[in-house]
């Protein structure tokens, strides 16, 4: 006995070792076999990380596993992933492994697929990415008869776990997404007739073009399918499906033919409670319907029968009906009643273009308000034709009182409408207004809209619209928000194109307001806080792409920041993310303002290009309130009087829609009227007064001052201009930066009378009228910043100029005296008799020579004295100007 047990133990150990060891011996062959089988059957690139074999996991069957499978398409979908799978497992009898080197097919009993993503795609040319199986002739060309081997499926069960599927049809713009897919089936596929028992659950999304019909709706299906493999016919014997929470039972069959699939399927919901209708709505919107009270019925019935092929679809006859139904959620105060639904989906020809939806009635009432609607949709797969009617009253506040919808913003108000519309989708997309037929009217009253994106609720007391072919006329619109009021009329074009497609909203409006406060329309982050804002900066700063409208504005008062604009009139044109101001005028700062130009947000950084016409602005007010004016001419804010100017400027806008001064460029032509300096002078004027004692800046003559400014790269250049103080002219030129740095030069042309007693005594000794008209230039160089300026005075040119003038006048005086003596001598000679003349001629000639020589000598001596006198005169001038510049000092340097 012990010997037998020992032999049995050794035998079992040997078998166990073999079960563990043999797979390693076969692994290479299996891997080659899998690769060979794939290459023989698929036109695609296939990769996987490993193939494993085990005799223990599924004993007594062999367990073959392929890990990290990736199948990538060839042209025309080259590089696109067709399948990814974490793991694919096959089980088969161990004996089937010994067929690997032969030509016999290998039988597979079960397949398990884990975490697989399958993408099925049809492009706009009709090419499919899933047609990757090699044709028989392709297989024959790559493999000889003796080398052929493949898998033969004798499946008893299969499963797909935690997988997903996507179907994308670019031609029809249809997409189907199946996620969280778990499916399993049990049966025998080898018999000619058998049954397959399946269980499936998944979430399904279904979308055609821009219309979503299912949005991640949960679907469950338990089905017993009869398999007739000889005739490729699959019969649904006992089937129950659950779409959301709507139960469906269906019967019939699908048969595979050479030219497609023949279908004959009927379905209906076994229960008729109206709660089934609520069950169709995705749970995220309908919430928990378990406690909902309902009356009335809801029935879904359908027939799908015919051939599904490349050219045909099965005929359809699907109906949804409900009569005199109602529902009430347990936690909500109101009931929706008198619900009538009568909808049919049909196709009687088998051609997809002939499918139509006829919503004969979709009616309901809340309290005493009745809402009725009907619609028909034809030619659905191509250029859909729509004909719809709406007639009823809806109190918007009741929406959240009857249905558990969570609105971001509270709605109130009453909507009334009686509208008929008929159009085709192509007409909507191309703005073919002649094919868009709208008739009827709509109104809304006491509508209140609030949002976290706006500061104050918008209260529309009245809005009336009439619908005409192609246009909607806004006959009245009265609204208030905060302290602002609006009253508008106008015309809207392409409203349906905007609502149903991606078209622009076109309109022409006349807007009037008695008081318009811009901050009433701004979001919280622009006025006080950023906590309530739901849009990003990029979104809030963009002019909407969909707007194409013209607004004629007329407002008695517009309050923007700290600016109080009166009698604002003008036109605003919004198009292509650009707002254009045209003929915009207003009263501001006791003057008039005219604005033209545009603001664009089409690029990443918003830009502007504006022309400002200013007429009669009060200088003190305008320069105090407008940063742009302060930056262009910071010194002007201390002036009193009126300002006229034309400013052309362009640049970028910052995150608060204000100009980025460093980017601004342009020019301005400014004129000052009846201006004088304020008593509270700036630091710059105080510095100038301290350096130039002969100027009283309170008495500067600024009347009719004109100058031109040019600005770019954060710097303002001032074209030279001239000021007057009594009989002193002042030539000013230079530039300053938006950073307040100053680089200016002011040349004061000072008459002699301001030069002090020393210089005037020196001038008084010269008996010459020109001496009284002597002018000396004094240069003041202004630097630093406007708040901390520096002033230096340059006397070098002034001293040299005055000294040279004084010396030149004395020279001319000496020369004039010499001329007089010569003239007298010549007159005497000419007046004598001839005899005497001859006797004294020689003597007189000598005298003339002596006089002339003396004059020449004196002139030479005078030139030698000039150098000495120049120094003496220059010292006197320096002392005089030193007293003139900076107070009572008698001695100053030539530069201060």
Q: Which of 870, 509, 889, 500 is nearest to 693 (CA)?
A: 889
CA–CA separation, 385 vs 435, rounded Å? 11
- SS3 state at 499: helix
Q: Residue 404: what pLDDT?
A: 84
**Residue 293 tokens, joined:** 């009270």
Q: Which of 114, 267, 92 is nearest to 183 (CA)?
A: 114
For residue range 801-855, what is the model confidence (pLDDT) as tens digits?
Answer: 666 766 676 666 666 665 555 555 555 544 544 454 444 344 434 433 343 333 3
**Residue 546 tokens, joined:** 């969909």
Question: How far does CA 376 lie from the centroid of its chain?
Answer: 38
Average pLDDT over residues 543-567: 87
For residue range 154-179, what is the model confidence (pLDDT) as tens digits?
Answer: 677 889 999 999 988 887 778 889 99
Which one has a higher pLDDT value, 243 or 167? 167
**In the predicted structure, residue 877 carries a pLDDT above the cut 90:** no
For residue range 491-539, what is the model confidence (pLDDT) as tens digits?
Answer: 988 777 777 667 788 899 999 999 988 777 655 444 444 444 444 444 4
The percent of residues in the chain predicted with pLDDT above 70, rounded, is 71
Q: Residue 822: what pLDDT?
A: 53
Which string of b and e fits 354-391 if b means at least 16 CB within 10 Å?
A: bbbbbbeebbbbbeeeebbbbbbbbbbbeebbbeebbb
**Do 101 and 94 touch, CB atoms closer than 8 A?**
no
**Range scoring the smallest mean pLDDT among 438-452, 594-608, 659-673, 878-892:** 878-892
Q: Residue 440: what pLDDT?
A: 93
**Range scoring the smallest mean pLDDT among 137-151, 396-410, 507-521:** 137-151
C-alpha distance across the termini of the chain, in Å: 129
**Do 625 and 562 touch, CB atoms closer than 8 A?**
yes
* Peptide bond connecting 676 to the previous residue in cis, omega within 30 degrees of 0: no
Average pLDDT over residues 30-50: 71
Q: Which of 459, 403, 465 is nearest to 440 (CA)?
A: 465
**In the predicted structure, residue 306 carries a pLDDT above the cut 90:** yes
Confidence band, pLDDT 50/70/90 cuts, at residue 229: confident
Instruction: For residue 691, give the H/E element and its range.
Output: helix 683-691
Q: Residue 174: what pLDDT?
A: 81
Q: Residue 496: what pLDDT?
A: 72
Average pLDDT over residues 49-74: 78
CA–CA separation, 890 vs 657, rounded Å? 57
**Range scoring the smallest mean pLDDT among 122-136, 435-449, 621-635, 871-885:** 871-885
Which string of b and e fits 523-539 if b means at least 16 CB within 10 Å?
A: bbbbeeeeeebeeeeee
**In the predicted structure, residue 64 carries a pLDDT above the cut 90:** no
For residue range 87-108, what is the model confidence (pLDDT) as tens digits?
Answer: 988 887 777 666 655 555 667 7
**How many C-beta atoms lie closer than 10 Å to residue 856's C-beta?**
11
**Residues contacting residue 644 through CB under 8 Å, at least 6 positions apart:** 614, 615, 616, 617, 670, 671, 673
**Range scoring the smallest mean pLDDT among 54-63, 207-216, 248-257, 814-823:** 814-823
Average pLDDT over residues 216-231: 85
For residue range 313-365, what is the model confidence (pLDDT) as tens digits?
Answer: 899 999 999 999 999 999 899 999 999 999 999 999 988 888 999 999 999 99
**Residue 104 tokens, joined:** 């016999």
Give bridge partners of residue 107 from the DSSP assignment.
152
Q: Residue 285: what pLDDT?
A: 66
Average pLDDT over residues 791-804: 72
Q: Residue 377: what pLDDT?
A: 92
**Range scoring the smallest mean pLDDT among 136-140, 357-361, 416-420, 788-792:** 136-140
Q: Residue 552: what pLDDT?
A: 95
**In the predicted structure, residue 745 carries a pLDDT above the cut 50:** yes
Which one has a higher pLDDT value, 642 or 524? 642
CA–CA separation, 685 vs 697, rounded Å? 8
**Residue 581 tokens, joined:** 């101001």
**In the predicted structure, residue 394 carries a pLDDT above the cut 70:** yes
The per-residue pLDDT of the chain, averaged, comes to: 77
**Do 318 and 301 touch, CB atoms closer than 8 A?**
yes
Average pLDDT over residues 229-238: 84
Q: Which of 278, 298, 380 is nearest to 343 (CA)?
A: 298
CA–CA separation, 725 vs 715, rounded Å? 29
The tokens 């460029």 sit on which residue? Answer: 665
**How many C-beta atoms lie closer than 10 Å to residue 436's C-beta?**
22
**Range scoring the smallest mean pLDDT among 210-224, 256-270, 761-775, 844-858:** 844-858
The percent of residues in the chain predicted with pLDDT above 90, rounded, is 24
For residue range 604-634, what is the model confidence (pLDDT) as tens digits?
Answer: 888 999 999 999 888 878 887 887 787 888 7
């Amino acid at each position: 006995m012990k010997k037998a047990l020992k032999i049995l133990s050794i035998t079992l150990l040997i078998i166990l070792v073999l079960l563990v060891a043999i797979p390693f011996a076969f692994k290479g062959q299996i891997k080659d076999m899998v690769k060979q089988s794939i290459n023989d059957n698929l036109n695609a690139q296939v990769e996987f990380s490993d193939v494993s074999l085990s005799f223990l996991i599924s004993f007594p069957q062999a367990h073959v596993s392929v890990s990290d499978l990736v199948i990538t398409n060839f042209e025309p979908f080259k590089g696109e992933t067709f399948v990814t799978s974490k793991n694919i497992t096959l089980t088969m009898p161990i004996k089937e492994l010994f067929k690997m080197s032969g030509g016999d097919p290998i039988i597979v009993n079960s397949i398990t697929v884990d975490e697989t993503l399958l993408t099925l795609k049809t492009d706009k040319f009709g090419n499919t990415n899933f047609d990757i199986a090699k044709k028989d002739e392709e297989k024959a060309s790559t493999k000889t008869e003796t080398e052929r081997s493949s898998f033969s499926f004798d499946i008893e069960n299969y499963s797909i776990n935690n997988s997903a599927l996507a179907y994308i049809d670019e031609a029809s713009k249809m997409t189907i997404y199946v996620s969280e897919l778990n499916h399993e089936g049990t049966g025998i596929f080898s018999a000619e007739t058998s049954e397959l028992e399946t269980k499936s659950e998944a979430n399904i999304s279904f979308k055609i073009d821009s219309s979503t019909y299912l949005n991640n709706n949960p679907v469950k299906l338990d089905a017993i399918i009869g398999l007739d493999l000889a005739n490729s016919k699959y019969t649904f014997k006992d089937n129950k499906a659950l779409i959301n929470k709507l139960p469906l039972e269906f019967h019939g069959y699908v048969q595979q033919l050479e030219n497609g699939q023949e279908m004959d399927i009927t379905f209906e919901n076994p229960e008729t409670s109206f709660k089934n209708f609520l069950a169709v709505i995705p749970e995220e919107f309908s919430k928990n319907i378990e406690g909902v009270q309902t009356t009335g019925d809801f029935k879904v019935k359908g027939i799908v029968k015919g051939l599904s092929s490349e050219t045909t679809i099965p005929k359809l006859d699907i109906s949804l009906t409900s009569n005199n139904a109602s529902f009430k959620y347990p936690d909500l105060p109101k009931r929706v009643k008198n619900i009538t639904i009568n909808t049919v989906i049909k196709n009687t020809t088998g051609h997809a273009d002939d499918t139509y939806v006829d919503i004969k009635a979709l009616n309901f009432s809340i309290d005493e308000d009745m809402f009725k609607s009907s619609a028909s949709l034809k030619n659905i797969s191509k250029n859909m034709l729509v004909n719809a009617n709406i007639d009823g009253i809806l109190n918007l506040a009741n929406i959240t009182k009857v249905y558990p919808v969570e609105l971001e913003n509270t709605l109130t108000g009453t909507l009334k409408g009686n509208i008929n519309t008929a159009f085709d989708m192509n007409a909507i997309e191309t703005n073919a207004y002649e094919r868009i037929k709208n008739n009827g009217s709509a109104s809304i009253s006491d509508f209140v809209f609030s949002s976290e994106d706006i500061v104050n609720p918008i209260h529309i007391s009245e809005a009336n619209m009439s619908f005409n072919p192609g246009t909607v006329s806004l006959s009245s619109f009265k609204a208030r928000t905060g302290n602002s009021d609006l009253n508008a009329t106008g015309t809207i074009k392409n409203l349906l194109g905007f609502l149903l497609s991606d078209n622009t909203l076109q309109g022409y409006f006349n807007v009037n307001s008695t008081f318009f406060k811009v901050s009433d329309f701004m979001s919280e982050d622009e006025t006080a806080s950023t906590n309530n804002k739901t849009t990003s900066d990029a979104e809030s700063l963009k002019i909407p792409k969909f707007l194409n409208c013209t607004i004629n504005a007329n407002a008695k008062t517009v309050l923007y920041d700290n600016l109080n604009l009166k009698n604002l009139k003008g036109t605003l044109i919004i198009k292509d993310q650009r707002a254009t101001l045209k003929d915009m005028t207003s009263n501001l700062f006791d003057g008039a303002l005219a604005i033209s130009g545009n603001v664009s947000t089409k690029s990443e950084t918003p830009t502007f290009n504006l022309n400002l016409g200013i007429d009669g602005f009060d200088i003190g007010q305008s320069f105090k309130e407008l940063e742009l004016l302060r930056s262009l001419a910071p010194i002007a804010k201390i002036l009193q009087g009126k300002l006229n100017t034309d400013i052309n400027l362009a640049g970028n806008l910052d995150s608060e829609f204000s100009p980025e001064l460093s980017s601004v460029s342009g020019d301005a032509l400014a004129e000052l009227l009846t201006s004088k300096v304020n008593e509270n002078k700036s630091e710059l004027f105080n510095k100038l007064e301290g350096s130039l004692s002969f100027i009283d800046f309170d008495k500067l003559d600024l009347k009719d001052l004109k100058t031109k400014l040019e600005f770019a790269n954060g710097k303002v250049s001032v074209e030279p201009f001239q000021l007057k103080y009594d009989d002193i002219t002042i030539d000013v030129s230079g530039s300053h930066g938006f950073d307040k740095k100053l680089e200016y030069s002011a040349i004061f042309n000072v008459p002699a009378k301001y030069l002090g007693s020393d210089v005037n005594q020196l001038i008084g000794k010269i008996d010459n009228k020109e001496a009284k008209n002597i002018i000396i230039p004094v240069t003041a160089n202004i630097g630093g910043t406007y708040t901390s300026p520096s002033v230096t005075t340059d006397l070098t040119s002034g001293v040299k100029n005055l000294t040279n003038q004084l010396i030149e006048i004395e020279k001319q005086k000496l020369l004039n005296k010499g001329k007089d003596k010569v003239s007298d001598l010549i007159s005497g000679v000419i007046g004598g008799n001839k005899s005497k003349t001859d006797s004294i001629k020689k003597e007189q000639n000598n005298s003339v020579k002596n006089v002339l020589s003396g004059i020449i000598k004196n002139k030479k001596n005078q030139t030698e004295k000039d150098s000495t006198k120049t120094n003496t005169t220059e010292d006197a001038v320096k002392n005089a100007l030193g007293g003139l510049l900076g107070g009572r000092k008698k001695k100053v340097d030539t530069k201060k």
